[in-house]
Amino acid sequence: MWTQADRAEPLDEVIAARVRDSFARQGMMRHMGAVMSEVARGFVRITLPYRPELTQQHGFFHGGATAAIADSAGGYAGLSVFPADSSVLTVEFKINLVAPAKGERLEAIGKVIKSGKTLTVCQLEVYAVAGDDETLIAVGQQTLIRLAGKPDAPA
């Protein structure tokens, strides 16, 4: 898993609050039981505890749950580097499921690789965690669009 050295610098508390407030409005993340466990400039970690409702027929976390938290982790990593008068949408993302998602929880990490005026590219990783064991189960890349002049706010 990524270490402290891989993380970007700490985030201004106003920006961190804006990112966390936006995440709190996501019905899908709330429905799944996901929580934003870490936010820094250009870096977000989302944790998803195991529940049988999130599994596929073999008892592993469903690929859709894995993809959903990866997409949100990258999107919020992007939002953390955008100006306050902006919001974010995913343009596309690609994810490879590289191992069965078996564990007590999943941890999705989104990290900004390059942020431009309009488009931002993020790296995505998802780990299954069981006790002290962490297994990389998904890797991906995402492109975000910054919606300038459209602050992220409740509808």
pLDDT in tens, 41-79: 999 999 999 999 999 999 999 999 999 999 999 999 999
- For residues 155 and 153, what is the distance between their CA atoms, to the nearest angstrom? 6
The model's pTM: 0.93
Closest alpha carbon to 140 in 88, 80, 71, 90:
71
Go through the domains of the chain in sequence order and give each one's CATH number: 4-148 (3.10.129.10)
Mean pLDDT of 127-151: 97
Asked if pLDDT for residue 9 goes beyond 90, the answer is no
- 151 DSSP assignment: -
The residue whose two tokens read 């499921």 is: 97
